[in-house]
Structure 1
Amino acid sequence: MNQTVLITGGTGTIGRRLTQLLQQQGYQVSLLSRQVSSATSAGTQPDSSVSVYQWDIRKGHLDPQAIQTADHIIHLAGAGVADERWTDARKDEILTSRTESTELIAKALANNPHHVKSFIASSAIGYYGGDTGDRPLTETSSGGSDFLAQVTRAWERSEDQVAALGIRTVKMRTGVVLTMAGGALPKLAQPVRLGAGAPIGSGQQYISWIHLDDLCRLYIRALEDESWQGVYNAVAPGPVTNETLTRTIARVLNRPMLLPNIPNFAIKLMFGELAITVIGGNYVLNKRISEETDFQYQHGELEYALRELLNE
C-alpha cells in the first residue's frame, strides 16, 4: 500500500514541486489548506488522487482525517518573509503563521489516533541572523538576535512539540531557493536580461542557495531515511557572494554588467527593515548533510544550476 504524505503550504512554490516529485515516486499526497477550493484552483492537484483537507489556524481547527490518514507530514506553511514590507502587523503574521500552525499540528497529533512516522519541518538559515558576514555557520552555530532569528527560534521551538510526542522530527534550515517559479531568482534575472543588472550593496554579502529540486529531494530523503533527525542546513555545498551570483546570471544570459553597485541606502529606502534580507548575507555550510549522509546534489554547482533554471 502506498504511503501518504500530508503537506502543509502545498500551494506554495516548494509544495507544488514537492507534490509532483512525491507522486512520481509513488507516494499518495494530501494537503492541508484554508480553502479546499483554492487549493484545487491553484493547480496543486495534478490529478484527483490528491486529497485536500481543511484547517483554520486562527480558529484552531484541523480536519482530524488529515492526520489519521497520513504516514508522514511535511510542514511548509508560513507567510512569505519577503512578500511585503515589514509592518508590525506583517511581522506578527510572519511569526504566528509559523508557530500557531505547528502548535495546531502538534495538538492534532496528540489528540487523534494516527500512524505518522515522521515530521519534516521547514525552518530557515535566518536562525543565524540576517547578516553574519563571512563567518562559516554550521548546524551547531549560535543563533542571531534580529527579527528573523527570533522568528526562526520560536518556529523551531514549536516544532519541538511534535518531537516531544515521540515522532521523528527533522528541521530543514533552508537557504535562498533558486527557481523561476518564484522567490529571488526571477527578480535578479529580469534586470540582467534588460542590461541593467548590478550587484546589491557591497556585493560581498554571501548567499547560501539551493536549487528547488535539490531541496525537494532533501525533504524526500529526510522522510525516507530514519537516521535523519534534528537540524540540517538545507543549502548547496558552495555559498557565493551577491556579486558572483549576479555576474554568473549575466554570463549565463550572455548580458553585460555595466552598472555600478546599487547602494545600501537605496535598498533601505525601498524596503525598510526588510532590506536586511537583500543587503545581509550568511556563509552557511551543509555540514551534517555532507558529513553524515550520502545525499548527492543534482544541482550543486551554481552555473550549472542557473543554466538549467534560465533555460539557456
Structure 2
Amino acid sequence: MSILITGATGLVGQALTEKLQSQGECIHYLTTSANKIEQNDNYKGFLWNPNKSEIDTRCFEGVTSIIHLAGASIAERWTDEYKTKIIESRIKTAQLLVDTLNTTENKVEHFVSASAIGAYPSSKTINYSESFDAYNPSFLGEVVEVWEAAADKFKELEIKVSKVRIGVVLAKDGGALDKLLQPIKMYVGAPLGDGEQWQSWIHIDDLAAIFSFVVLNKLEGIYNAVAPFPVTNKAMTKEAASILKKPLFLPNVPAFMLKLLLGEMAAIVLESQKVSSKKIEQKGFEFKFKQLDAALLNLLK
C-alpha cells in the first residue's frame, strides 16, 4: 500500500518522504509542477491544480493514507491579498481531495493534516495541551481554525482524521532557524520584543518522525509536534549565538519596531505559545532531540 503526500517537495515534505521511504513505504505525491514529476518504484508524482479543481485521480491508486502538508507559507508579508491566499490554499486543497475521494473509488482510511501551534492564544503562563479548545483570536488562530475544519470534512467519508500542530521548525536549510541565524552571523543578532515569549520548537527529524508515527500507528485526533522543552526567544537566540561563537551585544529589538517593519505578521515572532508534547509521548513516541542545545549542535555542526 502507498501513502499520498501533498506538499512533498517542501521543507517538511522532503524530510517526511525520506523518513517514510527508509521505513519501506511507497510514496505518491501531488505537485503543481510538471517538471517535479518522477515515476520510480517507491516515489510517484501526480499533477494537480487546486485553483482549477483538477487532479490526476491515479494518485489514489493503492493509497490508504493521505498526509496533507500543502499550503502557502505564512512567512510572507500579510497583505489582505496574501492573507486570503494563506487561507484559500489550505481550504481549496483539502476540499479538492474530499470531493475527489467522494466520487472516485479508493481505499483511503486515514487523513493526516498539518496544522500549527498558532491555534493556541498567546500566553506566557499557560502550558497548552491538545485539550485546550479555544482558538487564538489573532489571524494565526483564524488560519488554524479553517485549516482544521477543512480536515474534519474527511470524517463525513468515514475516514479517520488526525491534525498535527507544528511548532517552530528547526532545519539546516530553510525554516525558522535560517531567519534566526542571519542577523547573529552578521553581528546584529538580538532577542525580539522582551525576549520572554515562549517558542515551542522541534527538530525537522523529529517532526518527520511524528508524522510517520501518527500515520503508521493510525492515530486519530490532535497531536502537538513540539519538543518536550520549549524555550524563550531570548534563550534560543543566546544558545544559537553561543554555538556559532558570535557575540550578542545589541539591545532587544523593540516590539513596536517589529510591528512597523512586519505589520501584523510580527505576531509570528512576538506571540508566545508554551506547548506540551506529552500526548504524543504517551502514545509511545520518543524524541531524538529533546533539548535545544542538542538540536542546534546537530544542525549547526
Are the aligned partners of 2:192 and 2:269 in contact in 1 as well (CA < 8 Å)?
yes
What code does the residue aligned with 2:104 have? N
> Structure 1 residues 154 and 9 mapped into 2: Cα distance closer, same or farther (>3 Å)?
same
Q: State the match for 1:109 in structure 2.
A: 101
Output the CA distance in 1 between the equivalents of 2:257 and 2:7. 33
Q: Name the stretch that deviates more: 172-181 or 68-77.
A: 68-77
Q: State the match for 1:68 in structure 2.
A: 61
Output the CA distance in 1 between the equivalents of 2:155 and 2:165. 16
What code does the residue aligned with 2:4 have? L
1:16 partnered with 2:14: yes
Q: Give the gaps of 5 or more residues in structure 1.
A: none
Q: State the match for 2:298 in structure 1.
A: 308
1:230 partnered with 2:230: no
Are the aligned partners of 2:39 and 2:45 in contact in 1 as well (CA < 8 Å)?
no
Q: State the match for 2:167 in structure 1.
A: 175
Output the CA distance in 1 between the equivalents of 2:23 and 2:242. 35
TM-score, normalising length from structure 1?
0.92
What code does the residue aligned with 1:294 have? G
Q: Give the gaps of 5 or more residues in structure 2.
A: none
Are the aligned partners of 2:196 and 2:232 in contact in 1 as well (CA < 8 Å)?
yes
1:230 Cα deviation (Å)? 0.6
Which of 54, 63, 73 lines up with 2:47 in the alignment? 54
1:165 Cα deviation (Å)? 1.3
Q: Among the aligned pairs, what percent are the same residue?
A: 38
1:199 partnered with 2:199: no
Write the mapping of 1:26-37 to structure 2, written as runs, cut at 5 A.
Answer: 26-37=24-35
1:69 Cα deviation (Å)? 3.1
1:52 Cα deviation (Å)? 1.1
Are the aligned partners of 1:133 and 1:282 in contact in 2 as well (CA < 8 Å)?
yes
Runs ≥4 residues deviating over 3 A: 45-49
Secondary structure of the corresponding residue to residue 119 of structure 1: strand
Output the CA distance in 1 between the equivalents of 2:221 and 2:41. 34
TM-superposition CA deviations, 1:98-120 (whole Å, max 9, x none): 01111111111111111123211
1:162 partnered with 2:154: yes
Which of 177, 198, 202 lines up with 1:210 in the alignment? 202
TM-superposition CA deviations, 1:101-148 (whole Å, max 9, x none): 11111111111111123211101111113x222311111112121111
Output the CA distance in 1 between the equivalents of 2:137 and 2:61. 38
TM-score, normalising length from structure 2?
0.96
Secondary structure of the corresponding residue to residue 170 of structure 1: strand
Secondary structure of the corresponding residue to residue 266 of structure 2: helix
1:295 partnered with 2:293: no
1:48 Cα deviation (Å)? 6.7
Secondary structure of the corresponding residue to residue 187 of structure 2: coil
1:71 Cα deviation (Å)? 2.2
Secondary structure of the corresponding residue to residue 256 of structure 1: coil
TM-superposition CA deviations, 1:161-206 (whole Å, max 9, x none): 1122111211001111111221110111122223222101100000
Aligned residues: 300
Secondary structure of the corresponding residue to residue 157 of structure 2: coil
Q: State the match for 1:245 in structure 2.
A: 236
Output the CA distance in 2 between the equivalents of 1:224 and 1:31. 17
TM-superposition CA deviations, 1:228-283 (whole Å, max 9, x none): 11101111111110000001101111222211111112111111110110111211
Output the CA distance in 2 between the equivalents of 1:111 and 1:150. 30
Q: Name the stretch that deviates more: 186-195 or 106-115.
A: 186-195
TM-superposition CA deviations, 1:19-63 (whole Å, max 9, x none): 1111121111111011221x24xxxx6967421111111111121
Secondary structure of the corresponding residue to residue 180 of structure 2: helix
Secondary structure of the corresponding residue to residue 246 of structure 1: helix
Output the CA distance in 2 between the equivalents of 1:134 and 1:13. 31
Output the CA distance in 2 between the equivalents of 1:259 and 1:65. 55
Could you say what the CA RMSD is over the residues aligned between the two structures, in angstroms? Answer: 1.5
> Structure 1 residues 53 and 46 mapped into 2: Cα distance closer, same or farther (>3 Å)?
closer
Are the aligned partners of 2:21 and 2:42 in contact in 1 as well (CA < 8 Å)?
no
Are the aligned partners of 1:75 and 1:119 in contact in 2 as well (CA < 8 Å)?
yes
Secondary structure of the corresponding residue to residue 164 of structure 1: helix
What code does the residue aligned with 2:234 have? E
Output the CA distance in 2 between the equivalents of 1:20 and 1:36. 21
Q: State the match for 1:274 in structure 2.
A: 265
Output the CA distance in 2 between the equivalents of 1:132 and 1:11. 33
Are the aligned partners of 1:20 and 1:46 in contact in 2 as well (CA < 8 Å)?
no
What code does the residue aligned with 1:270 have? L
Output the CA distance in 2 between the equivalents of 1:79 and 1:297. 28
What code does the residue aligned with 2:285 have? F
